[in-house]
Structure 1
Amino acid sequence: MRSIKIFALAAGFVTAVMVLAAFIIPKAKAPEKNKMIADGKGFAVIELFTSEGCSSCPPADELVARIQKEDKDKQVYILAFHVDYWNRLGWKDVFSSADYSKRQNEYANWLNLQSVYTPQIVVNGKKEFVGSEEGTLRNAITAGLRTNPAAALTLNTQKGQDHITIQYRVNGAEKNTDLLLALVQKAAQTKVQRGENGGRTLSHVQIVRKMQSLALNAGGNGSTTIALPEGVNAQDWEVIGLVQNQNNGEILAAAKANFTATANMGK
């Protein structure tokens, strides 16, 4: 009889310990369904507005060159737009264009800015900051790569004697969106003779040399041609395409292609 009581007491003690442990030992947390995970499907479009006539611009040019080298295997697209409003101050930037100054002013409207400046960076058409702010740029790239794109863009290119033919397909684009196609020279150097950078040799990457904007049709498919400058070496050039909302400037998809390659990006 005594042994039965002892067994009953022991069993009761074990049960009490197990109940107490259930309250003390934390349960494993269920995974957060809505947690943002870097899955490699996102993209970051970096638009740098710069000028060879601006003494504050070389650090920004150097920063995007480092980013290009570090992130060459990621969905990171760099476009360097050389604006023309510095040209009147002693040095004409050979890569500059009034079209690129116009694009920068479009961002000023989209982002409710009082004025434009150089160097300025805009990422994915949504966030702008001083072009030499490395930490801000790296954080913006990380955020872009973690965000699933709203649309998808495919580019096919074929080089002719004096032009390049681009076939494109866009899926998932919203209303009021355009396709921007940029002809990009991957690298160049300039020995600046006058102005704020007079006497310096400046290195540039991802220089936009021509830009074409196309309204998308209902199917999102089409083709176009871009004339090429003389003496173009196909290995040193590429095409970058952006699908952009014309109401707010947000970039919905991006892709790039060499002159003889196909690219499937942005989804």
Structure 2
Amino acid sequence: MSIKTTLLLTSLCAISLAFTSELRQPVRNGFAVLELFTSEGCSSCPPADALVAKIETENKDRSVYVLAYHVDYWDRLGWKDTFSERIFSQRQGQYAKWLRLGSVYTPQIVVNGSKEFVGSEEKTLRDAIAASLSEAGNTKLGISLSGHMGESLIMDYQINQPTSGYNLLVAFITPNARNKIERGENKGRTLSHVQIVRSLENFSLNGEENGRVSFLPAKGIQQGSADIIALLQNGKTGKITAVAKLKY
């Protein structure tokens, strides 16, 4: 065999090995669900609101999903948050149990249901997003609106994994809003918000991988002005394993 032929075969072999190695690398199709617990009555919250707004703008074309819950336990301290609901405080309390925290606080961010930190910590948030996006996501959640039943919306879902012990959460999201605060710690300020959760429904899947749920749209939301985000969440650990989004 000539030297020229030997070099050619060696080169082809190297190309083949490189190509095989590339094919064997896992596909990185992770996602980051950022759940912010905030309040218009909390003076520490505006920096966190501004941070998630920046993150949301920077990641419009990536699998990053922001849900901002306005808790109600600040409402008795001088200013009732326009967007606050008791159910959002209850969700934060559930995370305190899942993550074994001694108490709840604002602003708090939970990423993919498994990591929490102060909502204004930019580096921690960016690191958590990068780590989540680099994971190989194997679970798929598909959702679609299929009609109405009275005033309720009907949504079909499809999941490619067993769902025993999992819940499907459905959130109505207002993309943005601004409010002037007249009392409390933020008195005199005009606050901007993004990805405001207006309602949250929780459905136990009971092992069903394909099915249908019905729920009422959030009050005051007009069709064409909101998003629906669905989360697949482990009921024992709180870990979010899939997410889907559609326009409403």
In structure 1, the partner of 2:166 is 177
Pair 1:152 & 2:152 matched: no
Q: Is the 8 A contact 1:189 1:201 kept in 2?
A: yes
In structure 2, the partner of 1:227 is 216
1:216 is aligned, of 205, 211, 223, to 205
In structure 2, the partner of 1:132 is 120
Gap regions ≥5 residues in structure 2: 1-13
SS at match of 1:224: strand
Root mean square deviation of aligned Cα: 2.3
Q: Is the 8 A contact 2:162 2:207 kept in 1?
A: no
In structure 2, the partner of 1:99 is 87
Q: Give how far 1:157 is off.
A: 2.1
Identity %: 50
SS at match of 2:199: strand
Q: Is the 8 A contact 2:26 2:136 kept in 1?
A: no
In structure 1, the partner of 2:51 is 63
Q: Is the 8 A contact 1:36 1:146 kept in 2?
A: no
Q: Is the 8 A contact 2:37 2:106 kept in 1?
A: yes
Pair 1:251 & 2:240 matched: yes
Question: Who wins on radius of gyration, i.e. which is larger?
Answer: 1
Q: Is the 8 A contact 1:111 1:126 kept in 2?
A: yes
Q: Give how far 1:220 is off.
A: 1.6
In structure 1, the partner of 2:231 is 242
Q: Give how far 1:94 is off.
A: 1.3
Q: Give how far 1:212 is off.
A: 0.6
Distance 1:102 1:121 in 2: 15
Distance 1:246 1:150 in 2: 19
Counterparts of 1:109-124 in structure 2, within 5 Å, are 109-124=97-112
Q: Is the 8 A contact 2:164 2:206 kept in 1?
A: no
SS at match of 2:110: strand
In structure 1, the partner of 2:71 is 83
Q: Give how far 1:230 is off.
A: 5.5
Q: Is the 8 A contact 2:34 2:64 kept in 1?
A: yes
- With over 3 angstroms needed to count, the CA separation of the structure-2 counterparts of 1:218 and 1:229, relative to structure 1, is closer
* Residue identity in the other structure for 1:232: I
Distance 1:137 1:204 in 2: 18
Distance 1:142 1:120 in 2: 19
- With over 3 angstroms needed to count, the CA separation of the structure-2 counterparts of 1:173 and 1:133, relative to structure 1, is farther
Q: Is the 8 A contact 2:41 2:77 kept in 1?
A: yes
SS at match of 2:123: helix
- With over 3 angstroms needed to count, the CA separation of the structure-2 counterparts of 1:120 and 1:34, relative to structure 1, is farther
SS at match of 1:209: strand
Deviations 1:120-164 (A, max 9, x none): 000001110000001111111111111122421001025759543
TM-score between both structures, scaled by the size of structure 2: 0.85
1:205 is aligned, of 188, 194, 197, to 194
Q: How many residues align?
A: 231
* Residue identity in the other structure for 1:206: Q
Identify the range of structure 1 (167-176 vs 48-57) with the bigger mean alpha-carbon deviation.
167-176
Deviations 1:203-224 (A, max 9, x none): 1111111111111143322222
TM-score between both structures, scaled by the size of structure 1: 0.80
Pair 1:165 & 2:154 matched: yes
- With over 3 angstroms needed to count, the CA separation of the structure-2 counterparts of 1:159 and 1:237, relative to structure 1, is farther
Q: Give how far 1:235 is off.
A: 3.1
